[in-house]
Amino acid sequence: MKLVFVCFDFESSKLRKQPWRYVAELTRGLSSDVEAVILTDTDAEVDGVSVEAVDSLGTLKGPSDVAIEAVRKEDPDVVATVLGPSSLFRPCTLAAAIDAPTIGVMTSPLYGLRDVAGVGVNELYRHAPYLLGHLVGALTPDIVARRHLDQYDRLVTLTGSTGDALAETGTTTPIDVVKPGLDPFDRELPPESAVADVRADLVPDGDPIILYFTSPLTLRGTDTLVKAFARIAMSTDATLVVLARQDGGGLSEEERYLTDLASDLGVQDSFLLLPKNLTPEGVKAHLRASDVVALPYKIVISGVPISILETMAVGRPIVTTHTDGLPELVGDPSQLVQPNDVASLAATLESRLRDVDEVGRRNRERISDYPTWDESRDQFVEILEELQ
């Protein structure tokens, strides 16, 4: 069987982010019976997968002519294509342009207009490019979305909530939830010596650590977290550590914004911003060294945040938000708050600082039943086989 998986911007530098990690993991390690080719619009080689590039994958109306021609040239048995909220507005699809069975893979959450507007006017102004696709999706009538979705033979989502949102359009296309997986490495605890070294470096006085990691983008609630921490700091000795993933050179505008905010709120002495990319082992040691991990998303831009699963796997409390599929990941209301709610976030973080070990243990137990990437891949292959 030959599979062509169409995915925008697929390149090595993005494989730790969604949706690219999801696509890479589903196509890597397939059995010898399945040949997978990723069709993308960036000319890059990626270890472990076969990649073909074209100048453009799509237009405002749908797939580009060069993308359609490239898919036909590969002569696949099945085609899968990454979808986003703005895809639903487009009248044309690959499914209508080729003869092979097609799978639409919705890797992004689907929001209503109230959800998008709920991020706040400041975010809509500062981060319009990140939100435009979700705004288009929110404004797309169900009848238009349904016409798009009905052209596929199967639909795949990463969470049940996104699957429910697709079903609410009235589409007749079958919907499967194929969750992102975890590696065996993700379930292993880091060496205690490495954890002790991190704590000694970050908090020599032994104060509790509230940790945020990945992109410092304020759409992920980093500014809400700094404001909540300022409330906590009035009554509790603690340190807020922001482990900021570096996607470019130098201190980013977002990092400067957070640093200035911490200074304005008077918590600069207990606020540590670490602008660096760590190895997976280093990230894990920092997660385990923390007392609570806070990921208070205002909106999830794309895919399931693997960061939440990684936190739970090392046995640490996670405080996140009632956003898209996050509640079904966490499964514990005591670790969830409303987006943009400074007071609730502060109170919940303080509560979790009082029961670190118990909540962390429950999180680690919950994640023990979560699918591995091998299991997710097997589920995806079953869908491919059913379409032949």
**Stronger pLDDT, 20 or 388, i.e. the higher one:** 20
Q: Please report the pLDDT score of residue 181 as a whole number.
A: 94
Is the pLDDT confidence value at 26 over 90?
Answer: yes
Same domain, 208 and 133: no
pLDDT in tens, 45-103: 888 889 999 999 999 899 999 999 999 999 999 999 999 999 999 999 999 999 999 99
Give dist(CA 175, CA 167) in Å, integer. Answer: 8
Could you tell me the pLDDT band of residue 388, with boundaries at 50, 70 and 90?
A: confident
Same domain, 223 and 200: yes
Same domain, 230 and 338: yes
Same domain, 233 and 257: yes
The H or E element that residue 309 is part of is helix 306-313
Q: Please report the pLDDT score of residue 167 as a whole number.
A: 98
Same domain, 342 and 199: yes
The H or E element that residue 214 is part of is strand 209-214
What's the burial of 79, exposed, middle or buried (CB within 10 Å: 0-12/13-18/19+)?
Answer: buried
Give dist(CA 383, CA 379) in Å, integer. Answer: 7
Is the pLDDT confidence value at 247 over 90?
Answer: no
Same domain, 22 and 144: yes
Decide: helix, strand or coil at residue 107: coil
pTM of the model: 0.93
Same domain, 257 and 305: yes
Portion of the chain with pLDDT greater than 70, in percent: 98
Sign for the pseudo-dihedral over CA of 220, 40, 20, 90: positive
Same domain, 197 and 272: yes
pLDDT in tens, 35-44: 999 999 998 7
- How does DSSP assign 345-381, residue by residue? HHHHHHHHHTSHHHHHHHHHHHHTTSPBHHHHHHHHH
Q: How far is CA 347 from the centre of its chain?
A: 25
Is the pLDDT confidence value at 248 over 80?
Answer: no
Same domain, 199 and 136: no
Same domain, 243 and 296: yes
Strand partners, 319: 294
Give dist(CA 357, CA 42) in Å, integer. Answer: 45
pLDDT in tens, 214-225: 999 999 999 999
Is the pLDDT confidence value at 249 over 70?
Answer: no
CATH of the domain at 64: 3.40.50.2000
Same domain, 220 and 238: yes
Is the pLDDT confidence value at 316 over 90?
Answer: yes
Q: Please report the pLDDT score of residue 275 as a whole number.
A: 86
Could you tell me the pLDDT band of residue 251, with boundaries at 50, 70 and 90?
A: low
Residue ranges making up the domain that contains 335? 184-367
Sign for the pseudo-dihedral over CA of 373, 35, 166, 145: positive
Average pLDDT over residues 105-128: 94
pLDDT in tens, 45-61: 888 889 999 999 999 89
Q: Please report the pLDDT score of residue 376 as a whole number.
A: 96
Mean pLDDT of the chain: 94
Could you tell me the pLDDT band of residue 147, with boundaries at 50, 70 and 90?
A: very high
Cα–Cα nearest to 83, from 21, 22, 16, 7: 7
- What domain count does the chain have? 2
pLDDT in tens, 284-298: 999 999 999 999 999
C-alpha dihedral, 13 to 19 to 20 to 21, nearest 10°: 100
Q: Please report the pLDDT score of residue 30 as a whole number.
A: 85
The H or E element that residue 239 is part of is strand 239-244
Same domain, 171 and 205: no
pLDDT in tens, 224-237: 999 999 999 999 99
Amino acid at the residue 154: R
Q: Please report the pLDDT score of residue 379 as a whole number.
A: 97
